[in-house]
Structure 1
């Protein structure tokens, strides 16, 4: 089993992986001091990233669209990605009903971002995708504040490795209360591109109020936006980004 070592880079810190021959080594954080002021600033701004495969989740919330919400991230030029989202309760909680969930329940928001389309005719853009081929996607992000954000956030590191390779830099930062997952392959190397899904997640003490146009992808040097489960703000609730 190859080692996945998480490092931080200067502009898109948190390096996803560096492989070695030693088996069964856990993901680690920064190794060694920052090499420049820019790298130090990036390290300071980055949030610790968990691995989606390590999560233990309970049942999903079942809303008007079922347990999952599908859509597209698009702009005037067309659809740039399909998005499939769900919100889950903690492990052991089934069913997952916000109306009966105890106070303080942590909800996990999960978003699978599929640049281009997922080739499923009944989800997202399906056969209607009319965007150009996605040669480079550089970020998945929220366009609104992450209400109730607990500070726990991450992505599927195995999927990122498969999509971008061992030189990938994935950094999670906050901006104006919202979350940004930046994906960068560096000079040369593979990029996050067409038909390479990556799963991202974050946790909140607030349940979704319904789908909202709160999410976006930066792809082919353009921004495309679309819907996903999103929590309404509540007085007295904190946001770890703030």
Structure 2
């Protein structure tokens, strides 16, 4: 798994977040462009990236209330300890309340949302809390599904405001597919601010398949190691398809 993370980290050369020169010709700070490719050399990698939406632009309806409530909280961990706090939920489109997959209209698109805090969120009542054993995360560079994204529509993204708050104007988040799953590569370059300890970053993806229950289907790459944990996950549904495995149109 670590080798796969290293391979995908190379995709982080795409600047979907900001250009390296952040000053306009009049000396004023230029507006950050989170979706601009920084160089011609990144064009090939950019062709493999999915359009990254902004979580702030979503209008969601009610959340699904599963066996563990509306929010699924936990830790992303490995044998060395916990490396991130994760809170996840699944919401229906705006106007659907309550959000019950059994009565939702055919074709309903469910939004899977994951709020990830490297280390922990400093709230002992949630997530890994007092069980946190890696409370000094200096660099987190990737969040991903480790299993196929059943029913994935091709729509995914993250909170661009949170990325800017955590990393600054050089924030670089690229969304790609790998073995049927979704990967968010967070690249802040060398030195300076990184996505690090207790800085929340929200990721989302959309599926036509509702969650079947929590699964250990999510991972973070933090402090140069992979750590895994639970979140809502859809059951396999061949009829629903998966944008990460469907052929992509040329052009």
The question of a shared fold, defined as TM-score above 0.5 by the shorter chain, is answered with: yes
Give, in angstroms, the shift of residue 42 of structure 1: 1.0
Give unpaired runs (5+ residues) of structure 2: 1-9, 246-251
Which secondary structure does the structure 1 equivalent of 2:162 belong to? helix
After TM superposition, the structure 1 = structure 2 runs for residues 88-237 of structure 1, keeping only pairs within 5 Å, are 88-237=91-240
Q: Does 1:11 align with 2:14?
A: no
After TM superposition, the structure 1 = structure 2 runs for residues 9-88 of structure 1, keeping only pairs within 5 Å, are 11-12=11-12, 13-17=14-18, 29-30=35-36, 34-36=39-41, 39-88=42-91
- Alignment partners' CA distance in 1, 2:203 and 2:172: 15
Which structure is higher in helix share? Answer: 2
- Alignment partners' CA distance in 1, 2:197 and 2:212: 31
Cα pair 2:34 2:160 within 8 Å, conserved: no
- Alignment partners' CA distance in 1, 2:15 and 2:53: 11
- Alignment partners' CA distance in 2, 1:214 and 1:71: 12
Cα pair 1:52 1:155 within 8 Å, conserved: yes
Which secondary structure does the structure 2 equivalent of 1:160 belong to? helix
* TM-score, length of structure 1 as denominator length: 0.89
Give, in angstroms, the shift of residue 187 of structure 1: 2.6
Which secondary structure does the structure 2 equivalent of 1:229 belong to? strand
- Alignment partners' CA distance in 2, 1:70 and 1:96: 19
The change in CA–CA distance for 1:137 and 1:29 in structure 2 (over 3 A counts) is closer
- Alignment partners' CA distance in 2, 1:91 and 1:128: 36
Give, in angstroms, the shift of residue 189 of structure 1: 2.4
RMSD of aligned residue pairs (Cα, Å): 2.1
Any idea what the Cα deviations from partners look like across 1:42-98, whole Å, max 9, x if unmatched? 111111101000000000000111110000000000000000000000001000000
* TM-score, length of structure 2 as denominator length: 0.86
